[in-house]
A = this chain, B = another copy of it.
């Protein structure tokens, strides 16, 4: 594996790390939150807003894009960066998780997964080779190996089988990735459910196989936070210091702080965008539900000290009205507020790590949440 992809550890504070991932589409400052752009768009946001909010990288989805509009089509159109008008870094999910959660009639064997499209019922096959090929076609700066993510709770044997399968698939993905243009990266995925022993075995094997970076998959799927944090703490010492670590599908603002404290570097989650579309704002004062009637007459903005114009400018009463009236601008504004808050939180953690005051930053942030929303007028 060659090319200009690289990771540089800039500083650490305890286990928390600040780093820089170099890609052919720019630097990714870590710890990094990666807004979710499943269908080649971060829902309700213009790409330049996503960038202005502080994102260095977005996540797109192999499963969704292979079905619609199709990977070959996006390649013929000049690749995903041009297609979605996002000239910065892009990471793509392998699609394994979405096949399991969205596709009807899926069938898994050693070779890969056969499934029907949730859009038109057509049959598709996703193998480690095809998942890799699709991500190369899309032009992802970072591709993920195809893996199998077991729904928890699950019998230990099922988890062990998925670990073995994911490892074999990882090795096949790596061979397939030799076709990738230089400068691209492939990450391996550690599985193992909530079983520390299987997790560690998985981590050792995946690291042994050798990837540009390592992800922990199959967490944040409904287990308690302490289970997730325990697994991270077990796996982290087995991951090489010089490679980025991606905790997939995580999480709440508190999850992000806890995971960064345990040495994780990269994150993605639908929470800021999905909750934004459902009237829930993330703020320095904790979550605020704009559907609540207490906002109906409140002239104050969500947070007048926010770097996000949407949070500073619009009255809570107006945001409340937009959601009551089903107006798209409500989703647009709160998505912007939430992504901005998430990215501000990541930037705050990074600065704190660089200054050696991560614990103090985490405590101050939690104090803000605990104080709760400012009282109504």
Contact = CB atoms under 8 A, between A and B. Distances in A.
A321 interface: yes
Given A69-B320, A83-B318, 11 more contacts: A39-B325, A41-B322, A44-B329, A44-B332, A68-B325, A69-B317, A69-B324, A73-B297, A77-B299, A77-B317, A83-B321
Interface residues of A, number: 36
Nearest to A335: B328
Given A69-B317, A84-B318, A318-B83, A327 B43 contact: yes
Nearest to A325: B39
Contacts of A297: 73, 76-77
10 contacts: A39-B321, A41-B322, A43-B327, A68-B324, A69-B320, A69-B321, A78-B299, A83-B318, A85-B318, A328-B328
How many monomers of this chain does the complex have?
A: 2
Nearest to A39: B325
A327 B69 CA distance: 13
A222 to B, nearest CB: 27
A317 B76 CA distance: 11
With most chain B CB atoms within 10 A of its CB, the pick from A40, A45, A68, A77 is A77
Contacts of A332: 44, 46, 328, 332
B77 A40 contact: no
A335 to B, nearest CB: 9
Interface string A24-50: 000000000000000111011110000
Contacts of A329: 41, 43-46
A208 to B, nearest CB: 39
Contacts of A97: none
A315 interface: yes
A355 interface: no
Contacts of A44: 328-329, 332
Interface string A298-322: 0100000000000001110110111
Contacts of A78: 299
A286 to B, nearest CB: 24
Nearest to A47: B329
Per CB-CB distance, the 9 closest pairs between chain A and chain B, nearest first, are: A41-B329, A39-B325, A69-B321, A44-B328, A41-B327, A77-B299, A77-B317, A83-B318, A39-B327
Interface of A: 39-41, 43-46, 64, 68-69, 73, 76-78, 82-85, 296-297, 299, 313-315, 317-318, 320-322, 324-325, 327-329, 331-332
A320 B40 CA distance: 12
Contacts of A41: 322, 327, 329
A240 to B, nearest CB: 38
A328 B39 CA distance: 11
A313 B84 CA distance: 10
Given A324-B68, A328-B331, A329-B44, A73 B39 contact: no
Contacts of A43: 327-329
A82 B45 CA distance: 23
Nearest to A83: B318
